[in-house]
Each structure stands twice: as structure tokens, then as C-alpha cells.
Amino acid sequence: MAFFNKFKNIFSRENKSQEDKDLEKKKLDNSLNKTKNTLFEKISKTIVGKSKIDDNDLDDFEEILISSDIGVETTLKIINNLQSRVKKDKFINTNDLYSILKEEISNLFNEEDLKEFVIPNVNEPYVIMVVGVNGVGKTTTIGKLAYKLKNAGLKVVLGAGDTFRAAAVDQISIWAERVGVEIVKQEMGSDPASVAFDTLQSAKAKNADVVIIDTAGRLHNKINLMNELTKIKNVMHKIIPNAPHDVMLVLDASTGQNAIEQARQFTAATKVNSLALTKLDGTAKGGVVIGISDQFNIPVRYIGVGEGVNDLQLFNSKEFVNSIFDN
Amino acid sequence: MFDNLSNKLDKAFKILKGQGSISEINVAQTMKEIRKALISADVDFKTAKEFTATVKEKALGQEVLTSLKPGELLTKIMKDELSILMGSEKSDLDLSSKPTIILVAGLQGSGKTTFCGKLALLLKTKFKKNPLLVACDIYRPAAINQLTVLSEEVGVSVYKEEENKNPVDIANNAISFAKKNSKDVIIIDTAGRLAIDEKMMNEIGLIKNSINPNEILFVVDAMTGQDAVNTAKSFNEKLDFNGVVLTKLDGDTRGGAALTIRSVVDKPIKFIGTSEKMDGLDIFYPDRMAGRILGMGDVISLVERAQQQFNEEEARKIQKKIAKNSFGFDDFLSQIQQVKKMGNIKDLASMIPGVGKSIKDADIDNDSFKGIESIIYSMTPEERSNPVILNGSRKKRIADGSGSDVQEINQLIKQFNQMSKMMKMMQGGGASKMMQMMKGNNMPKF
């Protein structure tokens, strides 16, 4: 019976996956629709009826890119590249200009897109630590990620490492219950490093596959809090030598240029390997990740496109750029 | 590289150095740099453009006085214009209705619930009100618990209906409850929602129409980027809110969103959130914010924070001690504790004009006092009150006890002596003498 259920699950999951994919695509498209329309309209307006681009056009591009939170430095880089190519190729029509602009932005995501987490088949659990400033959606992202991993047949344990914010432990506990995974928690106000220690110990004893450690939101300029993060990270070595195997920084898509400083400081404290960009279902464009990807070489793994348990998607840089420019 | 605005402005003003007056030609490049600086501070693209145009217009043709560099003149014009743009005067809550109903709205994660707790505390302590917190976020897991915990922390009652899934009903029931229980301010916390989520935006519209609040506050994260325009507009169209709350200003964001929102929806910013603690809510002062955006420091806020923390009686005691020449290490220690209470040292230092830039990359934190503290803790009470008796063997013992060496002890004693000398001079009105000492680079370092 159990075998049959498992089989059924796999079956229904596969069936669902194509639907899911369509749905996901639609969601991303919808969420980026606003961006797309305004960008497209603006660019069309800029270049319609012209056979070559002049400085005014470039100024307009600058405005368009900056309005998507791409940032001054990155925008200038894109524009400069565009300019030099236009100079080289002399004559450029509308369509060419599009593909060049798209290409230039895509080039800033220089690595291949990340896949889902690959959990190695070893005795020790794979540990993911989730960090970020206040209110970006760390706990929600953990809930969605736990659901994803559990559905992939993995045994997941959550660690309630936000012991500071009022009712944060309750929040992640509700997610654990909702998703159906185990959680290790202590009282509010207890040492988060000790929670991480307990979680890893318990996960190891129970032969769990994955551990996800939540942490309290902290502004990246608070040195003591950033040191605390380093301490939480270091404590994990004592149980599992290579833990945490992945440190995921959660960024809010509506955050402006400050996200670059966040990436810098969190990387300094914990060596961030991947990003999750949340709240992309709003009007925010999240263009700041282009600059982060370019400057720090930290790839985006996931995007959050809604409050539902299924609303965590793999980031696809081509789709991200395409969704911005496609008609 | 992300430099902060003031660094960029410095660069921009360098162009003007050596120019006698501001002309069309020499100002153009500067304006471009300023625009870039504003945009990097997350000021909306169009707002930045309009702003620089205004500043340029005001600056053109102004004779640059010999005592004032063109850059300084421009800074002054900019600061004035920024203050005007952000509303010039501070804007208070209207608490005249009985009860006053305050509806709090905003995006997810902007800090609504934390703000509600802080506002309740502020109203209770400063305004002597009897507020009621109302939990209308029925969606986010544990949101009701969060408000409940905060309500206990600030000692204010909370109204909640865990089973009720209708925020309009909950809000109405809360108002009847408040009237029966003589609560004079009702603070309604709502779920975070995206501006394009029609269903959720309609819901908050329904709440508004049903309860007819006296104040609607829109809570927005100070780190918000270019999207601040869209979000503020949408919420304003739906709610016609009365004021804005800017949160997480204790980060290193320049808070360009403040400028954007004010200029796009023309609603005043009423409060700013400055820490995760419940007393971290300040009234918004446009001129101080202008200074911050320009990286000019904020002396007034610094002084105010000092006034809040420093105990006047304590200060008088210390003055007496200084006068009697009996200022000891214990007093020194208590002064350090008071400074620490004022908050993060780096934040404090950055409020001092001119300091912000120089310590940008320096790692100063409250741990920097630890060495001094442990040395003092290793002294006997007698040694603390009468430092003169510190001889070689005593110093050796203190060094062993505090994990430092005799050299560090000597340095601390030297600094301590300088400081007591300086304080004596301040009392004796020897300010000029003190200035000389400071110029001689004899400032105590700690």
C-alpha cells in the first residue's frame, strides 16, 4: 500500500509537473507583465521611426534601466557596451537593438542558472542556512522550500533560529505543520547558535536529508548581529564539518540599491552562495539582482511569486530578461 | 561600487572648486553627478531629475561669497530644497476624535506590526493615551501572536478574534469593544498586501469604508527602490492615506524613498522606525532627513538621544566630583555605560557632521569599550576612586586580572587623566584651552 501510494505520488507529481510548469510560466509572465509593458512601450516609443540611435535614445534607455532598479553603475555598463557595439556595427535597426540590449543584460548573469538543490546521498544531512534583512520573507521562503524538498521525497528538518522577533518561532512552526516536516525549536530569546546546534544534532540522529536553518532578520550594518551570524555558522561545523553547505540570502524584489550593500555585508559574514528574490509578483522589478550577479558573482536560485506554498520557482535568467523585453 | 551619497556629492562639488560663481557650464556636470547620487540613494528617476533642475535654477548666477565655496553654497541650496520637498514642517497625528481610529497598511514585510507596537507605546507614554491594538492580519502565520506578544511587551491591550476570518468584522467589533472599555486610540494592524493584488486592495478599501478611520498610515520600508512610486500611488488611490511611516532607517540606506513618496503622493511622513526595540520610533523631521540624505549628519537627533539617556542627576553628581577633583574610574565606567545606552557607537558618530564619512569603513562597535571595562573591573574599589595609588605591582595585578598588559593600563590611566583634566577645563570655562589641547592631538582615544 505504501509502495502504491509512493508510486501514485510520483505519478501525480509528474502529471502535475507540466501543468505546474505552464502555471509557473504564466505566473512569472503575469508578475513581470507590468515591467514588460512599460519597458516595451518606452523602448518602442524611443526607437520607432528611426534607423539609428542617438544620444537621446541612450538617455532614454538609461532611464528605463534605472527605473527597473538596475542601478547607475550597472546601467552605465550596459549602455557603454551597447554604445560601443552600435559604433562598431554602424547601422542598427529596432530588432537588432533589442537583441543586443537583451544580450548585454544576459551577459551580466555570467554563470549557468542554478538547478534545484542536489542532496548528496551521504550519512549527514545537507544544511541550508537562510539569512537576510528584516521583512524580506525568509520564513515564508523556508516554508515553500521545505515543501519542495519534502515533495522530492526528502526528510526535512527546520531549525527555528529566529528567537528574537515576536512570534517568529510560532510562524515557522505553523509552516512546519502546514508542510508536514519536523522542526527543532527553543524558547524565544534563546541563543540562535544553540538552536542551530540542536537542530543539526537532532537531524543527524534522525537521519534527515536536509536541514534548513532560519535566522532572525538583521540589518547588515549592525556589526554585532552580523557577528552573531558568523557564530551560528561556525557552531554548525562542530556537528557536521562542512555545514552549512549552502547559505541563501533572501532579497526583497522591491529593495533598491541597498540590496547591493546587503549582498556585500552578508557575504562577508557568512559567504553567501545563492540568492532568493522574493515578492516578484508585485510591481517591483528586482533589477538590482543583475548588478549583484555581476559584481559578486552570486547566482539567484529561487524567485518568490506569491504567498502560496507552491510559489517558489527556480530562477531562469533567460526568462527573467526575456520576460522584461518580450512583446 | 556603491558609494554613499555624500561621497558622491563631494566628488560632484570638486568640479566646482576654484570657481568664483555658479554658471550654466560649471554646474551642468555637477548636476549630473548629483542626479546620479540621488538615484543611487533610491530617489525616483523623475523626482531626481526635477529636483536637480530646481536646484540648478536656484543656484545659477548666485555670487559665491569668498567665505563660502561653491560646493558649500550648493549644499545649502540642496538641503533647503530637500527639506521643502519633504514637507518642511513636522506633521503630527490628529488625536482629537474620541476614540481616534488609526488604520495601518502597507506591503508585506514593511514592518506594520512592529510599528503598531511602537506607536501604542509612544501614545501610552508620551501622549498619556489608553490605546487598543487590533489584530486584523488573518493571513500571515502567527501574525496575531506577534501583535499579542508586542502588546504584552508595551503593556497595552490587544483585541483579536482567532477564529474570525473577516477583518472588516474584527475591526468593527474592536471599535465597539474599545468604546465599552474606554480606549481612546484604536490601532488596527492589517495584513501585508501588494498594490496589484486587487482582492486584497479591495479588502482594505472595505475596512476603510466600514470603520471610517481618522488616520490612515502607509508603512513603507526605507530601503525600497524605484518601485516606491508605483506602490505609494496605488495605496494612495485606494486609501487616500494621511501619512507615511518610514521603517528600518537604522540601516545604512539613504532613504531616497522618503523623497520619492513625498513628491509623488504629497502626503507627509509622520514617523520613522529606527530600531527593532519598541522605543525605536521617532517623529519625522524633514530638515534632519534632508541632512541625512546629503550625508551632513544630524546633530539635533544626537543631542536629543543623549538627553533621553543621560540622567541629569547623575550628570550633576559628576560635575561636583570633577570640581572636587574626585572623579574616579567608577564614574568613568558609568559614563561609558551611558554612552553605550545611546545605541550603536558608529550610528552615533555618523550623526556628527563630517564624521560620517571618515568612519564609513571603520569597524567601531560597542565591544571597543570591552578592554577598558575589563581593566576597570579588575581594580579594587580603592584604586577606582583614588587612581593615584596605582603603582607598579598594582598595575601588574590589574593587567593579569584583565588579560591585558601593563602598557595598556598605563595608556588608560593617561587617557583618564587627560579626560579629567579636560572636563575640569570645560567647567572652568577654558574652552579655548581645550581646543588647543584637541588640536595638539591629545584627544583621549577610546
Whole-angstrom distance, CA of residue B340 vs CA of residue B374: 15
Q: Which residue of B has its CA nearest to A76?
A: B36
pLDDT at B315 over 70: no
pLDDT at B124 over 90: yes
- So what's the pLDDT on residue A27? 61
Average pLDDT over residues B189-213: 95
Going by C-alpha positions, the residue among A306, A304, A12, A310 that lies closest to residue A130 is A304
User: Minimal Cα–Cα distance from A79 to chain B, Å?
Assistant: 15
Assess A158–B contact: CB distance below 8 Å, yes or no: no
Going by C-alpha positions, the residue among B42, B433, B435, B29 that lies closest to residue B222 is B42
Task: Give the ipTM of the model, two decimals please.
Answer: 0.81
Distance in Å from the first CA to the final CA of chain B:
31
- So what's the pLDDT on residue A115? 87
- So what's the pLDDT on residue A15? 44
Whole-angstrom distance, CA of residue B42 vs CA of residue A256: 6
Cell of B69: 565655496
Q: List, as ranges, residues 228-287 from A with C-beta within 8 Å of B.
A: 252-261, 264, 279, 281-285
Which segment, A52-61, A111-120, B166-175, is predicted with the most confidence on average? B166-175
In this structure, the number of other CB atoms found within 10 A of the CB of residue B210 comes to 14
Q: Which residue of A has its CA nearest to B361?
A: A221
Question: Is-contact A298 A267, C-beta < 8 A?
Answer: yes
Cell of B313: 542627576
Partner-chain contact B248 A133, CB within 8 Å: yes
Question: Is-contact B438 B444, C-beta < 8 A?
Answer: no
Partner-chain contact B225 A69, CB within 8 Å: yes
- So what's the pLDDT on residue A106? 87
Distance set, CA B105 to CA B191, B201, B254, B364 (Å) = 7, 10, 23, 36
Length of chain B: 446
Partner-chain contact B251 A133, CB within 8 Å: yes
- Cβ within 8 Å of residue A264, ≥6 positions away: A220, A296, B2
- Backbone φ and ψ for A2, nearest 5 degrees, come out as -60, -40
pLDDT in tens, A89-103: 665 666 677 788 888
pLDDT in tens, A133-168: 999 999 999 999 999 999 999 999 999 999 999 999
Q: List, as ranges, residues 175-204 from B with C-beta within 8 Å of A.
A: 194-196
A259-273, B221-235, B405-419: which range is least confident on average?
A: B405-419
Cell of B293: 540624505
- So what's the pLDDT on residue A99? 80
pLDDT at A85 over 70: yes
- Backbone φ and ψ for B319, nearest 5 degrees, come out as -60, -45
Whole-angstrom distance, CA of residue B173 vs CA of residue B81: 46
Partner-chain contact B224 A283, CB within 8 Å: no
pLDDT at B254 over 60: yes
Q: Choose between B324 and B3: higher pLDDT.
A: B324
Whole-angstrom distance, CA of residue B2 vs CA of residue B39: 11
Q: List, as ranges, residues 135-154 from A with C-beta within 8 Å of B.
A: 135-137
Helix (H) or strand (E) holding B434, with range, is helix B431-439
pLDDT at B441 over 60: no
Q: Choose between A239 and B60: higher pLDDT.
A: A239
Question: How does the average pLDDT of chain B come out, rounded?
Answer: 80
Cell of B157: 491591550
- So what's the pLDDT on residue B295? 60
pLDDT tier, B346 (very low <50, low <70, confident <90, very high otherwise): low
